[in-house]
Amino acid sequence: DDDETKKEIITPGDSVSIENSGSRPLEYIPPNPSQVLKVEKGDHCKDEPVELAALFKGSAPTPAWTEAQSTRSLTVPAGSVPEKETIPF
């Protein structure tokens, strides 16, 4: 039931998941499964959605969030990030 921000590095081929362990439904922001919020200086997110296709230009298929029961997951396809590059989101 608390807002939580985490900073981690995800390697292409890995997945990141958000699990709702609380009793109330979550409102995902942004709600579109093909978007994430833009990161500004530091670790703060702007209220400005950005398309995952714009972040991971070389990946096919384009990454998208999937929902199953109480978990929302995103898999970053292998080969979607150039070597020695970091894509913040």
* pLDDT for position 52: 87
Band (8; pLDDT cuts 50, 70, 90): low
Model confidence pLDDT, tens digit, residues 13-30:
777 777 777 777 767 778
Q: What is the pTM of this model?
A: 0.67
Rg (CA), the chain: 13
How far apart CA 13 and CA 77 sit, in angstroms, is 5
Two tokens, residue 28: 């995902």
Which comes out higher in pLDDT, residue 53 or 70? 53
